[in-house]
Structure 1
């Protein structure tokens, strides 16, 4: 199938836009590869420090430079379910790397914080910037220059983008990513959502709510709804950085361990010069076409709006310049192929059973909506990712994945999609630019025209809801939540209350310069509004009663106030606005807040120029 014209044009535009920055990045990677790592060129003191803790065999191998050395960089901790399974991975990887002719060393750990724990709490204001801390931590781990390849272990929201940004600074090395997989299915997501709504209305107490939440998040593994964490994993396959079919295999299974060991073996293999004279370097895998493939995966699956920031930053780390217009133009031709909560009732385990990533990639390739001519950790060509792994006897093997959906309520193909376009739209108007996720928004709610009600915080919104002040058509506006203001926290705590207002028959939307998570649902939410209020953006000049238009179909985001009046207004200041300066470590991140880029440029500090 010929490549879709829009896909081709967007890719070419990105290539042209990135010509200078990409050339500079590749020149730096070529220079880094030319100079190292050469353990044999290190001083004896350097090298002795580098393998002092190794066993005799590994010491001999590293001293003589006869075996490639694989760095392990892990986001393990045992508090967070998604990362707890990584406890066992280093031992498996070391054993498998040795069997494959290499050595593996645990090079360093990175933090991993969970938005599910910090949601609605002060710690959430560190969440976005943790991505950049993770990138820096990855750089510290790899900067010892002892390594010929790397394996990165991470799953959730900021962790994978942070690992990507950090490891792309070492793009002269082969790098492969290994996930932990989702927990098995617990309480169904629609039932959980209903319990949350009943709690928001005061119909049940905290004990019943906690019981429901514990039945939903109940074991090691990633949360099973299709939020940012699982969007991460899908995009890694679409970009060719995972072993094929590895994203949604549950932890604690023989297949999960086998795929982890296979990743270690592949890292060793990739560190050797290939037959064509090129090692499979990360800088060769993450190029303009693979980034576009990742965006197609995000859009076709109805994935997380967080990646409209994260992947701008990731691409920039590889010298590639993308923006929201690229997302929007691709969204216009990429159909929606998955209905997974919050965009449906199924979870990612059901998604995998219905056909999963293999079916999506096969269908999109057949329709000319993906680039097949890319390098991946599996070899040349994205078609490797139409295969699914299985255990045959005691060995790991792959077979062709399904060519048709096993459940068309959950997964479909390009010829019969859930919607003809992707789930993310760029909003624009006199309020600036924003992102809205439309894949779960019903047709009746895709154009909202209503008076504004402006709040200092999401807690103030919830208080107004409980006081029955929002029982009307309303656009809830929450400014002062951009990256410069307070680190751009997610405002997902608002979802239950605003969902109840929709169910009561009111026209409701949210407008904020903050974020919603990958769990953005049925309430239309124009988020990441840029410029943010802290920088004088028009969102900070909205007043109670101003007439707001949020139109998912046309992309209009506007306030019915004359330009000269809007210009003359100052940004609103609240007497009850919570401080973002101190408490729970927030004082440590002033440097990040003060240097954060706008949302469309990645939202974090410019780590790579």
Structure 2
């Protein structure tokens, strides 16, 4: 084990002692109550089994047989979640045939950042994670289940389901993926058309045709954004079957994997031979493996929020400083868009997550003694396929010699991880460096300050940004407006960069998980709404962001400056935003996970 990996792991354990002990004690107390259905009254049980046929009721009422709760994020607007429509019936039929049972415990909301980007609804996106956690807990609160299958993939949905399931950590739990859509329009062509549209050189019809060609069928979007980062990281943490993250939807292999995970879960319930609850799987080793996988793959910066919140739900305190320390030890060994030209399907063709984990294992960067929900971590170095009889088999993963998306262990794409923690007199922030050209990792330029994306767009259209510039977009943090993704900025800033200008972004808001070509320090904390230094910066101040050293500096005396007044904007009304004021009042800072449940520190 690499010494830095070991040290960071021990640091997490040491600072989390009280919180982790309290969490495990709570889970043990729930487990000690025994099989949950055995504690229900006859009336309770009758309600729980009422809609089932007589033969199925016998399985549900028999506490020696496992009853699996399904928490589904199905809807037919999200391409990644549309395949989940028929999963519950497939799982139910399979388990009833094997003497067990399954029920849909509940559904959780599932919003798509791709649909809400640049729209008012995006201001609810981050908060949806914690709402989904609550909905997951509410779904499981009927307390009739012996294990949990989570049907969820995308940005805030899967982390939210995991946070909620961790409140029921005495139950074995697994994610059931659905897989990515096929490759459509190339990523370079997408970027070209979007920039041409931003510059006014192409029309909406051409843009819409391109977008519909890129997002064209069921499955996750093919770029390496937050949804696919969820899948890669959660597989590395042992929360799903080995090699299952990126198998295409509706394929025979995908159906076999769904069957296998469903049956496997019954073997690790209290009724099975190898009880393995989620609280045991989600230990410090799994969390650090997830952080290593995030960095080594150049994954979404959104996980600098989500993994901190997930860790807290499991009783651990993880910090941005942990991520920064790991980044010094973890090389970048994956090259998927936006870090490179190829997409997630090419990654899967190169061996997928098992090949990726094999590389990390060769570099001594994984806790191979972690306890995944299936087998051991060595099983996660194998890739699934179907034999000539259509049966599921696993074989050791091997990266093809021709692969351009998974690096050979001796020649990483970068010696450092894909995410850098930035520090300086503007506060702390996150910078995704994996997709940056070397000449764009350091930018120093005068500032233009804005409060909304629309203000930036107007300045761009007027030609006011046709110079070297650091765009500062503030009052977009979690306490202000829920930290929406600033999707409108990327075509604008990308166009300025393509014109040869030195351009960067500094913001207390978020960017899309697929962003990264534009040098940007995001999630800046303290945010402007709570009096952070970013609220004191002014037009024409000189700012430098250095993605090599991690420095974020404004060359001005901020000590005697007042904070800019909070702008009078209609962030809190319309499209349901008025219902989320309690979230804005309660949310923690970005560097503690931007959570309404946890405030950071050992408790």
Flag whether TM exceeds 0.5 (same fold): yes
Select which of 519, 526, 530 maps to 1:535.
Answer: 530
1:295 lines up with 2:291 in the alignment: yes
Q: Distance in 1 between matches of 2:36 and 2:353?
A: 39
CA shift for structure 1 position 414? 2.4
The 3-state SS of whatever aligns with 2:559 is helix
CA displacement 1:22-49 (0-9 Å, x = unmatched) = 1110011000001143323321111111
Deviations 1:562-584 (A, max 9, x none): 2xxx1332222376x53211011
Aligned residues of 2:354 and 2:397 also touching (Cα < 8 A): yes
- Name the residue aligned to 1:472: 467
Q: Does 1:595 align with 2:592?
A: no
1:31 maps to which of 14, 29, 32: 29
Kindly indicate whether the alpha-carbon contact (under 8 Å) linking 1:376 and 1:382 is maintained by their aligned counterparts in 2. Answer: yes
In the TM superposition, structure 1's runs of 4+ consecutive aligned residues that sit over 6 Å from their partners are: none
Contact 1:131 1:158 (8 Å CA) reproduced: yes
CA contact (8 A) 2:481 2:571 kept: yes
CA drift at 1:604: 2.1
Partner of 1:585: 576
Q: CA deviation at 1:607?
A: 5.6
Equivalent pair of 1:405/1:412 in contact (CA under 8 Å): no
**Corresponding position of 2:146:** 148
State how far apart, in whole Å, the 2-side matches of 1:387 and 1:64 are.
36
Q: List per-residue Cα deviations over 1:540-599 (Å, max 9, x = no partner).
A: 11100000011101111111112xxx1332222376x53211011100000001100000
Shift of 1:394: 4.4
Which residue does 1:421 correspond to in 2? 416
Structure 1 residue 99: Cα displacement: 3.1
- The answer (yes or no) to whether the contact 2:179–2:220 under 8 Å persists in 1 is yes
**506, 512, 529: which one pairs with 1:511?**
506
Instruction: Say whether 1:217 aligns with 2:208.
Output: no
Matched, 1:502 2:493: no
Which residue of 2 is the match for residue 60 of structure 1? Answer: 58
8 A contact 1:58–1:103 mirrored in 2: yes
CA distance in 2, matches of 1:462, 1:517: 17
Report the Cα distance in structure 2 between the residues aligned to 1:569 and 1:44, rounded to whole angstroms: 68
Q: Please name the residue that 1:572 is paired with.
A: 564
Distance 1:518 1:38 in 2: 39
Q: Is structure 2 residue 238 aligned with structure 1 residue 240?
A: yes
Larger deviation, residues 253-262 vs 389-398: 389-398
Task: State the secondary structure of the residue aligned to 2:144.
Answer: coil
Tell me the CA shift for residue 138 of structure 1. Answer: 0.3
Deviations 1:121-144 (A, max 9, x none): 000000000000100000011011
Which position in structure 2 is the counterpart of 1:459?
Answer: 454
SS of the residue 1:376 aligns to: coil
Are the aligned partners of 1:359 and 1:405 in contact in 2 as well (CA < 8 Å)? no
Instruction: Give the counterpart of 1:382 among 377, 390, 408.
Output: 377
Is the contact between residue 174 and residue 267 of structure 1 (CA under 8 Å) also seen in structure 2? yes
Unaligned runs of 5+ in 2: none
Question: Please, what is the CA RMSD of the aligned residues?
Answer: 1.4
- Report if the CA contact (8 A) 1:302-1:423 is conserved: yes
SS in 2 for 1:450: strand
Question: Where does residue 136 of structure 2 map in the other structure?
Answer: 138
Q: Give the gaps of 5 or more residues in structure 1.
A: none
SS at match of 1:350: helix
Q: Tell me whether 1:326 sits opposite 2:322 in the alignment.
A: yes
Shift of the 200–496 alpha-carbon distance from structure 1 to 2, 3 Å rule, reads same
- Map of 1:307-326 to 2, 5 A cutoff? 307-326=303-322
* Offset from partner CA, 1:488-547 (integer Å, 9 cap, x none): 001122111101111111111100000012111211110000000000000111100000
Aligned residues: 600
Name the residue aligned to 2:104. 106
Are 2:88 and 1:90 equivalent residues in the alignment? yes
Give the 3 Å change call, closer, same or farther, for CA 521–407 of structure 1 in structure 2: farther
Q: Tell me the distance in 2 between the aligned counterparts of 1:268 and 1:129.
A: 33
Give the corresponding residue for 1:343. Answer: 339
2:392 is aligned to 397
Kept in 2: contact 1:301–1:338 (CA 8 A): yes
1:190 matched to which residue of 2? 188
Structure 1 66/247 Cα, relative in aligned 2: closer, same or farther at 3 Å?
Answer: same
**Is the Cα contact below 8 Å between 1:452 and 1:474 reproduced in 2?**
yes
SS at match of 2:268: helix
Contact 1:128 1:604 in 2 (8 A): no
Q: Are 2:362 and 1:370 aligned?
A: no
1:445 counterpart residue number: 440
Task: Give the superposition deviation at 1:257.
Answer: 1.1
Q: Is the 8 A contact 2:178 2:248 kept in 1?
A: yes
Report if the CA contact (8 A) 2:35-2:63 is conserved: no
| Residue 520 of structure 1: aligned partner | 515
User: Aligned to 1:559, which of 548, 554, 558?
Assistant: 554
2: CA distance, partners of 1:258 / 1:241: 17
CA contact (8 A) 1:110 1:137 kept: yes
Structure 2: how far apart are the matches of 1:176 and 1:395?
A: 24
How far off is 1:413 after superposition? Answer: 2.8
CA distance in 1, matches of 2:359, 2:82: 34
